[in-house]
């Protein structure tokens, strides 16, 4: 039998099967072996993993591999079909017999992977049996790819498609030789010979183009590039007048056009989405088999086509498959009836299979990338949660390391590895006790020994997760000194991996410029001087030079928004500065007008402040408090602090204080009963009440909810929580505070603005709110029944006189409970219990019911001519996910930094980010809508559908989408937008 088949082996070599399979092995990341039917190699094995290479490089190991291979090949030949086989070393192969005219002429083994990680015990036994170094073989075993059986089956299907074509070529040649023998030297023999030879040449040319098409299609993990390659391949191999690729919309069941060649814009709009029921497309999807319509003008009802009439006559459709899953269809059209032969459809099927495999790989890659980044961020978060003194340390080191890597000329992959290494360099500290990490004094010998284990422990944690070797090495050696005096291995100079040397400098700089439990932070210049002093000793001199250069150019400008946040949160914002620079604490520039003696020296200049509403809807200038207004506010806050009402008043005890100047109700909450930073939070108006209701409902306080807050806050914190400006105001007033949670800190936050300092009006109202909160708290302590609502209404304290009566109080700046101030206030402003008999209170009880708040959505003006032009010119198809949200970074072009409104547009299927734009929050609807229209006009492409998650965006864009002929609908979640947001924000950082 072997002798009979041997005539085919030269033919197999001439078809280029070895080269073809070798290319497919590289693309699919699989090992591929071609053997005789008895298991002997027809050619050298290609693309084998290092584990098999080590075994094959050893005489005994090579003998064991050969015996295992021959057993699996003989089993496949005997069965006459493909089988799965696990070799003696635990690796899995699929054996595919290559048959010509019913005889097996060769067998292709596809695999070199495992279905589960190799057991260390089994690998160790194998090393002993083969006489191979145990550690070397174990290290190689960790690198063996782990696949699912479904994935391996999909890959084998692609190989089998190509082998079927090779089989047809070999069979054709055999038939040719048989007929030549029969016909002899007659003219008929010559003609038949020429015809078959031309046919064989044509098939060989097609096969060559199919091989190249497979390479192109499988060479990218970008869905757009894969689709483009598929269409180009179809046109090249089959010469169709038009071809198209469609994918199934899992929500609607419709086929959505993802790409086409040879169709005009009108046709693309018509065919953007098609329903499949009762059509030829539905038949293909249901049977998973090709369908050919020879003449569309004479087609039956079963062959009904939902689009493309006109001059197209012949149609062939094949399913796009990924394993057993149908992804969509691939179709070709011709103006000539009966154009598509059985061979053409077979070739189209091969390309369709390649497309399905490539598209599924692209989807899996996108999914794995998201899981990968989630895992990285989770590990980094776990490290920082372990050591409160290093909050943000890993992220800053990661950013600096990436910037340094770029400045040193490393490529993008190495820059990303530098970022990962910086993010994870301290992961080994998970294994260090917290009492050591947080110890305020010097460490003893045993404690230092424990701390020094964290680089090795970190590398051990990362290795099983298959992080890149460069990342693992950087984590392991990031505490090595350039002169060889570091740990854990005592490496020196160029022996230390470059990424580890970069992390060493960035880590040291951030450690020096951050406060720790055992010391204060160093200034920037002092830290740079330490780096220069350590160059050549601890640090690589070249890295130090580059680091100082990029640091001097400004790696980032970050702050905490003036030193005070709602409920003591410490949101870390990147502040992009357009006009002026924020200081290290996010403070305003120190400007003041000469001659304004009532303002403190560190107060801000009067500049435009768009979100501060005074007297109805009139916009006011940002006017800082006078010294007298500051004095009244601080006096009220000290009374409030000394009373400590949070000891008996819970956060659910809501009451209101009406602003005497604007008439708006501030809904007050006394905080501190749960152990958080004590103080008072005043939620402004109906919008503020909604924020309060969301908070007590248990909804998670995420970034977007904080951005939407409209609150005034007075907290009592530690000295370190205050900004330089807070301290300067206190000094100017001649006040002193001592101890923890004793220092008053006041802030105002308007929606989409950073938490900031108070205006004059806000300082006045907050002082009144503090004083009335004292009075309400005293009444609650006296068991006065304030908890009872009256028909759903809440207690609101408001003045029964004009606010002008308070002017003498703020003009004198005197503590309100100590003395009467002026004729405008007929009675002293005192806490009940100190008021004499017969006195009249300025403030009275009223009851009010908060109104339901809904964000007002303006009617968006847009250029109707532009909309008509877009609708007329743009092609239509696909589904886009759209969101408008506040970006987690602030821009400062006025006094108060704002969170820019950000528009993201992503492809619903692939998650690719199609468009992004930012705008000021106040004009976000108009500006972002206009920019979106420009994007549609420039690209001449509109979606068939837009999906949104926010009711506000649905309401705002419904009229626009109606004019554009786009369906817009609300969905419960937009996972692709969520992923795009993370990537977009990460790219900014």
Run of H or E residues at 385:
helix 342-386
Run of H or E residues at 246:
strand 242-248
Q: At what angle do helices 342-386 and 149-183 cross, to 10 degrees?
A: 160
pLDDT of residue 600: 34
Q: Are 32 and 25 in contact (CB under 8 A)?
A: yes
What are the tens digits of pLDDT across the range 856-883?
777 888 788 888 888 888 888 889 999 9
- Residue 51 tokens, joined: 């584990």
Query: Of the ranges 326-340, 563-577, 718-732, which one carries the lowest mean pLDDT score?
Result: 563-577
pLDDT of residue 587: 34
pLDDT of residue 368: 65
What are the tens digits of pLDDT across the range 363-401?
776 666 666 655 655 666 666 555 544 556 777 888 889
- Residue 84 tokens, joined: 């799965």
Residue range 470-487: mean pLDDT, rounded: 93
Whether 833 has a pLDDT exceeding 50, the answer reads no
Tell me the sheet residues that pair with 879: 945
pLDDT of residue 827: 37
**845 or 947, greater pLDDT:** 947
Residue range 646-665: mean pLDDT, rounded: 90
Cα gap 314→275, rounded to integer Å: 20
**960 or 859, greater pLDDT:** 960
pLDDT of residue 264: 64
The share of the chain scoring above pLDDT 70, in percent, equals: 73
Cα gap 505→276, rounded to integer Å: 61
**151 or 473, greater pLDDT:** 473
Whether 668 has a pLDDT exceeding 70, the answer reads yes
**832 or 103, greater pLDDT:** 103
**749 or 180, greater pLDDT:** 749
362-376, 769-783, 848-862, 884-898 — most confident range: 769-783
Q: How confident is the model at residue 817 (pLDDT cuts 50, 70, 90)?
A: very low
Residue range 67-95: mean pLDDT, rounded: 87
Classify strands 607-613 and 743-749 as parallel, antiparallel or unpaired. Answer: unpaired
pLDDT of residue 764: 94
Residue range 103-121: mean pLDDT, rounded: 85
161, 164, 165 from 350: Cα distances, Å: 6, 10, 9
Cα gap 756→563, rounded to integer Å: 9
Kindly tell me the burial class for residue 693, based on how many C-beta atoms sit within 10 Å of its own C-beta (0-12, 13-18, 19 or more). Answer: middle
What are the tens digits of pLDDT across the range 434-446?
677 766 667 787 8
What are the tens digits of pLDDT across the range 491-525?
999 999 999 999 999 988 888 877 555 556 677 77
Q: How confident is the model at residue 293 (pLDDT cuts 50, 70, 90)?
A: confident
- Residue 138 tokens, joined: 């174990």
What are the tens digits of pLDDT across the range 678-726?
999 999 999 888 888 877 766 666 778 888 889 999 999 988 889 888 9
The region, left, alpha or beta by phi > 0 then psi within -120 to 50, assigned to residue 144 is: beta
Cα gap 31→49, rounded to integer Å: 7
- Residue 828 tokens, joined: 């002293």
pLDDT of residue 748: 94
pLDDT of residue 258: 83
Q: Are 362 and 223 in contact (CB under 8 A)?
A: yes
Cα gap 496→479, rounded to integer Å: 10
Whether 824 has a pLDDT exceeding 70, the answer reads no
Query: How open is the CA angle 903-904-909, to the nearest 5 degrees?
Result: 155
- Residue 280 tokens, joined: 């030829």
Q: Are 887 and 918 in contact (CB under 8 A)?
A: yes
Whether 762 has a pLDDT exceeding 90, the answer reads yes
Average pLDDT, the chain: 76
pLDDT of residue 826: 35
103-112, 840-849, 930-939 — most confident range: 930-939
What are the tens digits of pLDDT across the range 580-609?
222 223 333 322 222 333 333 333 333 322
CA atoms within 13 A of residue 634's CA, in its CB half-sphere = 23
Q: Are 327 and 320 in contact (CB under 8 A)?
A: yes
Cα gap 11→17, rounded to integer Å: 10
Cα gap 534→505, rounded to integer Å: 10
Query: Of the ranges 299-313, 422-436, 632-646, 875-889, which one carries the lowest mean pLDDT score?
Result: 299-313
Cα gap 665→680, rounded to integer Å: 15
What are the tens digits of pLDDT across the range 526-536?
888 889 899 99
pLDDT of residue 616: 31
Count other C-beta atoms under 10 Å from residue 566's C-beta: 21
The terminus-to-terminus CA distance of the chain in angstroms comes to 67
Q: How confident is the model at residue 798 (pLDDT cuts 50, 70, 90)?
A: very high
Q: Measuring CA to CA, which residue among 519, 518, 478, 525 is closest to residue 497?
A: 478
Q: Are 138 and 45 in contact (CB under 8 A)?
A: no
Please give the backbone phi and psi of residue 290, each rounded to the nearest 5 degrees, phi first: -65, 155
Whether 786 has a pLDDT exceeding 90, the answer reads no
Q: How confident is the model at residue 301 (pLDDT cuts 50, 70, 90)?
A: low
List all residues 6 or more positions away from 140 whose beta carbon is below 8 Å from its beta carbon. Answer: 49, 50, 51, 53, 54
Whether 481 has a pLDDT exceeding 80, the answer reads yes
Query: Of the ranges 320-334, 649-663, 707-721, 955-969, which one carries the lowest mean pLDDT score?
Result: 320-334
Determine the 3-state secondary structure of 262 from DSSP. Answer: coil
Q: Are 772 and 657 in contact (CB under 8 A)?
A: yes
- Residue 747 tokens, joined: 């802030």
276, 484, 583, 950, 963 from 966: Cα distances, Å: 21, 66, 46, 17, 8
pLDDT of residue 604: 32
DSSP state of 39: S
DSSP state of 677: -
List all residues 6 or more positions away from 415 whose beta carbon is below 8 Å from its beta carbon. Answer: 402, 405, 406
The strands making up 889-892's β-sheet, listed across from edge to edge, are: 558-559, 573-577, 889-892
Cα gap 977→961, rounded to integer Å: 19
Q: How confident is the model at residue 615 (pLDDT cuts 50, 70, 90)?
A: very low
What DSSP string runs through 611-628?
A: EEE-STT-EEEE-PPPHH
Whether 11 has a pLDDT exceeding 70, the answer reads no
Q: Measuring CA to CA, which residue among 205, 225, 202, 224 is closest to residue 215?
A: 225
Whether 664 has a pLDDT exceeding 80, the answer reads yes
Run of H or E residues at 451:
helix 445-451
Q: Are 341 and 349 in contact (CB under 8 A)?
A: no
What DSSP string runs through 294-312?
A: S-GGG--GGG--SS--TT-
89-93, 331-335, 382-386, 444-448 — most confident range: 89-93
pLDDT of residue 405: 93
What DSSP string runs through 895-956?
A: SS-BPPEEEEEEETTT--EEEEEEE-GGGHHHHHHHHHHHHHHHHTEE-SEEEES-HHHHHH
């Amino acid at each position: 039998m072997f002798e009979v088949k041997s005539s085919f082996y030269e033919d197999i070599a001439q078809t280029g099967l070895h080269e073809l399979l070798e290319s497919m092995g590289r693309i699919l990341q699989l090992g591929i072996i071609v053997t005789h039917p008895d298991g002997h190699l027809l050619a050298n094995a290609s693309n084998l993993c290092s584990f098999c290479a080590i075994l094959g490089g050893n005489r005994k190991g090579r003998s064991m591999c050969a015996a295992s291979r021959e057993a699996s090949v003989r089993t496949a030949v005997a069965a006459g079909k493909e089988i799965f086989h696990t070799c003696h070393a635990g690796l899995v192969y699929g054996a595919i017999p290559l048959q010509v005219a019913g005889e097996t002429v060769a067998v292709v083994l596809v695999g070199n992977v495992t279905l589960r990680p190799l057991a260390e015990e089994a690998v160790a036994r194998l090393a002993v049996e083969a006489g191979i170094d145990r550690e070397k073989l174990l290290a190689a075993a960790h690198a063996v790819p782990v696949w699912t059986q479904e994935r391996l089956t999909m890959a084998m299907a692609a190989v089998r498609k190509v082998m079927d074509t090779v089989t047809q070529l070999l069979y054709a040649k055999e038939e040719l030789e048989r007929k030549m023998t029969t016909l002899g030297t007659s003219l008929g023999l010559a003609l038949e010979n020429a015809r078959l030879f031309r046919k064989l040449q044509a098939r060989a040319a097609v096969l060559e183009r199919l091989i190249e098409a497979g390479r192109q299609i499988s060479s990218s993990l970008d869905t757009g590039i894969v689709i483009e390659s598929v269409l180009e391949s179809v046109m090249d191999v089959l010469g169709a007048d038009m071809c198209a690729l469609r994918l199934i919309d899992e929500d609607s069941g419709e086929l959505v056009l993802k790409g086409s060649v040879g169709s005009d814009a009108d046709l693309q709009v018509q065919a953007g989405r098609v329903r499949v029921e009762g059509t030829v497309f539905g038949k293909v999807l249901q049977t998973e088999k090709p369908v050919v319509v020879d003449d569309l003008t004479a087609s039956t009802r079963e062959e009904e086509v939902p689009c493309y009439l006109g001059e197209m006559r012949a149609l062939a459709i094949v399913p796009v498959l990924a394993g057993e899953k149908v992804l969509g269809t691939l179709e070709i059209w011709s103006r000539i009836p009966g154009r598509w032969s059985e061979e053409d459809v077979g070739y189209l099927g091969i390309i369709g299979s390649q497309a399905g495999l490539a598209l599924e790989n692209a989807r899996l890659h996108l999914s794995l990338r998201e899981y990968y980044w989630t895992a990285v961020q989770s590990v980094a978060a776990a490290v920082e949660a372990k050591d409160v003194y290093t909050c943000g340390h890993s992220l800053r080191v990661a950013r600096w390391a990436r910037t340094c890597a770029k400045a040193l000329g490393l490529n993008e992959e190495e820059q990303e590895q530098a970022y990962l290494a910086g993010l994870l360099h301290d992961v080994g500290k998970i294994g260090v006790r917290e009492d050591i990490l947080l110890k305020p004094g010097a460490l003893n010998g045993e404690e230092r020994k424990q701390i020094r284990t964290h680089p090795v422990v970190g590398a051990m944690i990362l290795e099983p997760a298959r992080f890149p070797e460069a990342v693992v090495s950087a984590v392991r050696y990031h505490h090595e000194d350039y002169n060889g005096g570091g740990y854990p291995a005592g490496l020196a100079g160029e022996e230390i991996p470059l990424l580890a040397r970069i992390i060493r400098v960035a880590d040291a700089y951030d450690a020096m410029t951050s406060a720790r439990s055992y010391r204060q932070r160093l200034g920037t210049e002092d830290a740079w001087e330490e780096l220069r002093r350590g160059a050549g000793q601890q640090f690589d001199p070249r890295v130090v030079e580059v680091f100082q250069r990029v640091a001097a150019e400004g790696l980032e400008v970050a702050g905490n928004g003036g030193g005070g946040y709602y409920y003591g949160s410490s949101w870390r914002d990147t502040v992009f500065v357009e006009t002026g620079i924020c200081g290290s604490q996010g403070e305003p520039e120190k400007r003041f007008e000469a001659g304004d003696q009532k303002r403190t020296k560190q107060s801000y200049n009067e500049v435009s402040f768009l979100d501060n509403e005074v007297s109805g809807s009139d916009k006011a200038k940002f006017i800082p408090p006078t010294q007298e207004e500051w004095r009244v506010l601080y006096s009220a806050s000290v009374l409030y602090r000394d009373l400590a009402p949070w000891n008996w008043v819970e956060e659910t005890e809501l009451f209101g204080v009406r602003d005497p100047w604007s008439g708006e109700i501030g809904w007050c909450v006394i905080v501190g009963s749960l152990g958080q930073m004590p103080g008072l939070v005043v939620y402004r108006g109906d919008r503020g009440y909604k924020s309060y209701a969301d908070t007590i409902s248990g909804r998670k306080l995420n970034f977007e909810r904080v951005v939407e807050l409209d609150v005034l806050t007075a907290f009592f914190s530690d000295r370190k929580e205050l900004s330089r400006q807070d301290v300067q105001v206190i000094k100017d007033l001649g006040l002193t505070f001592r101890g923890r949670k004793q220092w008053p800190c006041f802030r105002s936050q308007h929606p989409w603005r950073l938490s900031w300092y108070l205006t004059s009006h806000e300082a006045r109202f907050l002082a009144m709110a503090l004083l009335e909160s004292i009075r309400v708290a005293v009444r609650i302590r006296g068991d006065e029944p304030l908890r009872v609502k009256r028909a759903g209404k809440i207690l609101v304290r408001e003045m029964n006189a004009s606010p002008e009566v308070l002017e003498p109080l703020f003009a004198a700046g005197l503590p309100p409970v100590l003395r009467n101030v002026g004729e405008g206030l007929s009675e002293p402003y005192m806490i009940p219990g100190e008021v004499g008999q017969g006195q009249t209170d300025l403030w009275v009880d009223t009851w009010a019911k908060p109104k339901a708040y809904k964000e007002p959505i303006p009617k968006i003006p847009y250029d109707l001519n532009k909309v008509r032009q877009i609708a007329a010119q743009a092609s239509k198809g696909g589904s886009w996910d759209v969101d408008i949200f506040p970006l987690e970074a602030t821009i400062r072009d006025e006094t108060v930094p704002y969170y820019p409104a950000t528009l993201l547009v992503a492809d619903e299927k692939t998650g690719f980010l199609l468009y992004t734009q930012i705008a000021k929050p106040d004009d976000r609807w108009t500006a972002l809508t206009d920019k979106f229209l420009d994007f549609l006009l420039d690209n001449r492409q509109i979606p068939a559908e837009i999906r949104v998650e926010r009711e506000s965006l649905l309401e705002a864009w419904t009229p626009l989408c109606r004019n554009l002929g786009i369906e817009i609908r609300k969905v419960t979640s937009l996972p692709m937008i969520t992923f795009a947001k993370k990537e977009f924000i990460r790219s900014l950082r």
